[in-house]
Structure 1
């Protein structure tokens, strides 16, 4: 089982991945979330495209940005 992650290290959201996140996949399910709400999945280089493609296929993708571009609005 992986150990704890230091508080300032952003970790990939892909199942079982503990790699450092470099991108944020921002998405929203319009059936569940209001227009001002968005969800964020963090992604390492290996999972960036697959996480993006997963939400894009469902029509949920807002955008993909570097983690440095996340704001307080992203949570």
Structure 2
């Protein structure tokens, strides 16, 4: 990929191809250290449903705009 190439990030919701607007950051405390963050990308239509899914399981940590800096936790 060249330096001028841009990558369009898409929503993580199954079957969605819309551009991602936010990063839904989460971790599973049974599997991940407290500072570890996994990231699902979400479009405006799926932000609430992905957040709700993760919140119901106690996994949701934060939602931030795409590309926002990490808040002290490691992303991956």
TM-score by length of 2: 0.82
**Residue 58 of structure 1: aligned partner:** 57
Greater than 3 Å deviation, 4+ residue runs: none
Deviation at 1:62, TM superposition (A): 0.5
Q: Please state whether the residue corresponding to 2:36 is helix, strand or coil.
A: coil
Aligned-residue Cα RMSD (Å) equals: 1.6
Q: CA separation in 2, counterparts of 1:20 and 1:14?
A: 11
Q: How does 1:1-75 map to 2 (within 5 A)?
A: 8-71=7-70, 73-75=74-76
Query: Going by fraction, where is helix more abundant, 1 or 2?
Result: 1
Q: CA separation in 2, counterparts of 1:70 and 1:21?
A: 16
Deviation at 1:74, TM superposition (A): 2.5
Q: What are the superposed Cα offsets for residues 7-48 of structure 1, whole Å, 9 maximum, x if unpaired?
A: 611100000001000011000000000112111000000000
Query: Going by fraction, where is strand more abundant, 1 or 2?
Result: 2
